Each structure stands twice: as structure tokens, then as C-alpha cells.
Amino acid sequence: MIITSELSKKYGENTVLTIESLEIPKGQSFGLVGNNGAGKTTYFNLLLDLIKPTTGNVINNNIQVNTSEDWKPFTAAFIDESFLIGYLTPEEYFYFIGELRGLKKADVDVFLTQFEEIFNDEILGGKKYLRDLSKGNQKKAGIVAALIGDPEVIILDEPFANLDPTTQIRLKKLLKDLTVNSNATVLISSHDLGHITEVCERIVVLDKGVVVKDIETSAATLKELEAYFSV
């Protein structure tokens, strides 16, 4: 379970995030939506201890993330291409992540076979460095790398951006299967209301850094979100 308590982040006099209380149960597919500047990426950066909170804390499976690194072995994320190592080929990067997760190269090779449709012959075997791939293919590599080693918590920021429609459809199926087959806790942010309502069983709306809606996904959720953002 991920527990957020009295969390805030300020830059100077500007408060960009204030979350008094938010709990995400183990195994939940959790969606985060909001306009630009709503605080989505800030929240994920705080979850990953990439920035320090002004007040409060985040507890990941009983571990406070900004005071211990013990949450890292079971947590994975892809926020943007800065998470990649640009001078490595995709294969080298996957093997590197696999080694961190205690996997041998052969194990990683077997793991990667399930993503052939998503890779679409554009990732593996091309002898390109990650930095030379398109934004969409960098995203594919980053998302797949985040899944290596069956992490218990997976955090993905805007996973559908820069992907072609076919890959978006395949990625949605993959993400929906994750919580069913592995009981992973999956946190996703997205500007695409349709995609996130399909994938997530719960959606939280941030507005100017504050939680304004917390919705259990149903057939009416997409219309509810569209109505909110249409005002």
C-alpha cells in the first residue's frame, strides 16, 4: 500500500502540490489526471524521491521513501527519457536493468519475447543507441524496462504519449493484464481520459496541486471526467 500524508511541495512562495491524505491499496490500478501544471509529475517525483517534500511524506509498503531506499528493489518507474541511459543500445539497457533485478541475460531475453508486437521490429537488433530512437520508441523501451523483474509497484507518467494508435491499444491491454496477472500496484498519469478510464479501476483528479475528485471507475466515469474538464 502507498500512503500519502500531509504532503506538500513549494517552490519559493508557489505551492504546486498539497495532498492531505491519499491511500493506494496493493494491487490497484490507479490513474492520475489533470491539466498541465496540476501536480501529476510532481507527485510521482515525490513518490520516487526525485525531489524532496516541503512537508509530509509518502510511505511505500511501510517504508518512508525519503528516509530509506529499501522501497527501490520492488518499485519501478518510467517518467521520461531521462530515465534511460542514452549511450546504451536497448538490449544493453534491458540487460543492465535485469542485472539490477537479479536476472541473467537469458532470463531477460525470455522476458522480452512477450513484447514483440509492441516493439514491432523497431527496438531490438537495430544496433541503435537509445538516444537515437524516436520519442515513441524510447517510451516503449522505458516502459518495458520498468516491467523487468516483476516489480510490485509500477509508476508510469504519460505512458500513451508519442505512441502510435496500434501501440496504445497493445499497451492498454498490457497494463490491464498487469494488475490481474501479477497483482502489481500500477500508477499511471495521462492526459487521455479515454485511455485512463479503460485501464484504471480508480482515478484521482488533481487541480492546481489539490485532489478534487476520487472516482471508482464505472461506465459513467469518462462522461464525468469530460464534464469536469469542459467547465
Residue whose grid cell is 485501464 = 199
Q: Residue 138 contacts by C-beta under 8 Å, 6 or more apart in sequence?
A: 81, 84, 130
| Tens digits of residue pLDDT in 109-164 | 999 999 988 898 889 988 899 999 999 999 999 999 999 999 999 999 999 998 99
Q: Residue 68 contacts by C-beta under 8 Å, 6 or more apart in sequence?
A: none
| Tens digits of residue pLDDT in 161-214 | 989 999 999 999 888 888 777 789 999 999 999 999 999 999 999 999 999 999
| Tens digits of residue pLDDT in 42-90 | 999 999 999 999 999 999 999 999 999 999 999 999 999 999 999 999 9
Q: Residue 190 contacts by C-beta under 8 Å, 6 or more apart in sequence?
A: 31, 32, 33, 158, 159, 160, 161, 196
Cα–Cα distance measured from residue 27 to residue 109, given in angstroms and rounded to the nearest whole number: 26
28 falls in which pLDDT band (50, 70, 90)?
very high
Beta bridge partners of 4: 22, 58
Cell numbers at residue 6, please?
A: 500531509
Query: Are 129 and 137 spatial neighbours (Cβ–Cβ below 8 Å)?
Result: no
- Residue 82, classified by CB atoms within 10 Å of its CB into exposed (0-12), middle (13-18) or buried (19+), is exposed
Phi-psi group of 29: left, alpha or beta (phi > 0 → left; psi -120 to 50 → alpha; rest → beta): beta
| pLDDT at residue 102 in the model | 94
Q: What CATH number should be reported for the domain holding residue 88?
A: 3.40.50.300
How many structural domains does the chain have?
A: 1
pTM of the model: 0.94
| pLDDT at residue 20 in the model | 96
Boundaries of domain holding 192: 2-230
Distance of CA 65 to the CA centre of its chain: 16
Contacts of 104-113 with C-beta under 8 Å, sequence gap 24+, read 108/148, 111/148, 112/144
| pLDDT at residue 189 in the model | 96
| pLDDT at residue 110 in the model | 95
